[in-house]
Structure 1
Amino acid sequence: MTNKKSALMPVGEGILYLLRHGEIRTPGILAGKTNVSLSDVGMKQLSQATESLQDINHCISSPLIRCHAWAKEYCQQHNLSLDVDNQLQEMDFGDWDGQRYQSLWDMPKQAETSSIGDFWQNPWQHQPPNGEMMASFVSRVDSWWQDYCADKPLQNTLVVTHAGVIKYLLAKVLNLPIPGTVHMASIDVPYASLIKISLYRDELGKVWSKLVL
């Protein structure tokens, strides 16, 4: 997958909308696998972010409630099918998961484990204690992307997921270096961000992607 222009004629086109969940009920925590729900503000943020969307054929959601609860409601309102995919979950931050950011920054560094500062600077070399390795996270998101771009008709799809997943997919579309930290340090994905990616399949079956601003 790449965003370079193809000389071949497109034989199928679609739009992929990546939507980050809204504000959570416990802001200020590192919510990876932690299954925290949205606040009332978060639900409104998502509805406002998607109110102008048209011609959505399908919706896919992370199973975590901060994504799934709103996605289920949206699909019921718009008579859409909803797929729930575990590969779209946020990274599992292990012992750090669910803790407040401030307490993690204040935590004294242990010689045998990485600090959260080490992780943010280079997550490829520093794993959250008892958490998911960056290589494993990237592998499962890659697997989802490959499945989505497989040999089937492209649709206009809304994907409700998390900041880490969206940042990595943007890195793929923009051909940023992986392994690398550019996408983590240079891309900000606030609550309820809606990102549009155009996709088309050429005559040879290859899918091309482009970020639409």
Structure 2
Amino acid sequence: MSHATTRIISLIRHGKVAGAPALYGRTDIALSTQGEQDLMRTLSKLHEHTAITQVISSPKIRCAKVAGEFSREHKIPLAFDAGLQEMDFGIWDGVPFDALGDEWNNIEQFWHNPASAHAPQGETLQDFASRVIHSWENFLNHKNTQHNTGHSAIICHGGVIRILIAHVLQLDWRNPALFKQLQIDYASCTRLSIANYDQAQPQIHSIGLQHY
């Protein structure tokens, strides 16, 4: 299919963060220097292969900073979408794993059954999936010609990408395997396309490829 009549969509996870291993959801942690470099290289390589015509980013700094730098450098329109933020992990959010103490048992339950166990004061998987899918549907249904063709780079988070993969493939997003067995590395790209005609369905070409 021609790029002129097909929308290319790259779902890009942010780079490695500058913090101890933890669940980073609402916590607005920055990227490490290496993480920024890796994310910028991924964007640059994708742009060289198929020119990016639009950047959409989570507003979290680990996505937004590099998104802003890339869009300014290449004079590409940039928009932020709060619906594409990572899951809110409540009292676990941003706390280093080594400091979680007895809460670690509850996190284990969450990994085994994320649809029924969630962080105290955090977001349920149902609410998270609904938020992400709502943003995705708004993006696909946008009538702006810029959205309907070209190459959109969406810079977001691992959990967001997993939910979108499940949604596009009509899989059960409650399945724990999506979170335990589907590897979405830092600064990796999941590539989709969708033809520009009514009722066209997105096609997934690759999942979690690294370009840096």
Q: TM-score, normalised by structure 1?
A: 0.86
Mapped pair 1:134 → 2:125:
yes
Mapped pair 1:192 → 2:191:
no
Alpha-carbon separation, structure 1, partners of 2:17 and 2:131: 24
Counterpart pick for 1:47 among 19, 22, 40: 40
Following superposition of structure 1 onto structure 2, how do residues 85-104 of structure 1 map, counting pairs within 5 Å?
Answer: 85-104=81-100
Alpha-carbon separation, structure 2, partners of 1:108 and 1:75: 40
The structure whose Rg is larger is 1
Change (3 A) 1:108 1:211: closer
Mapped pair 1:144 → 2:139:
no
Shift of 1:12: 4.2
Runs (4 or more) in structure 1 with deviation over 6 Å come to none
- Residue 76 of structure 2 is matched in structure 1 by 80
Shift of 1:181: 2.2
Q: Could you list the runs of 5+ residues in structure 1 that have no partner in the other structure?
A: 1-10
Change (3 A) 1:136 1:73: same
Alpha-carbon separation, structure 2, partners of 1:98 and 1:151: 34
Shift of 1:108: 5.4
Change (3 A) 1:75 1:108: closer
Shift of 1:151: 5.2
- Residue 123 of structure 1 is matched in structure 2 by 114
The answer on whether the counterparts of 2:24 and 2:93 sit within 8 Å (CA) in structure 1 is: yes
- Residue 13 of structure 1 is matched in structure 2 by 6
For 2:138, give the aligned amino acid: D
For 2:30, give the aligned amino acid: S
Mapped pair 1:171 → 2:174:
no
Shift of 1:184: 1.5
Mapped pair 1:159 → 2:150:
no
The answer on whether the counterparts of 1:176 and 1:183 sit within 8 Å (CA) in structure 2 is: no
Shift of 1:189: 0.8
Q: TM-score, normalised by structure 2?
A: 0.86
Figure out how many residues of one structure are paired with residues of the other and give that number: 196
Percent identity (aligned): 33
Mapped pair 1:58 → 2:54:
yes
More helix by share: 2
Alpha-carbon separation, structure 2, partners of 1:173 and 1:56: 22
**Cα-Cα RMSD:** 1.8
Alpha-carbon separation, structure 2, partners of 1:35 and 1:93: 13
The answer on whether the counterparts of 1:176 and 1:182 sit within 8 Å (CA) in structure 2 is: no
Secondary structure of the residue aligned to 1:73 is helix
Q: Could you list the runs of 5+ residues in structure 2 that have no partner in the other structure?
A: 207-212
Alpha-carbon separation, structure 2, partners of 1:103 and 1:209: 42
Shift of 1:102: 3.2
Larger RCO, structures 1/2 (Cα 8 Å, 6+ apart): 1
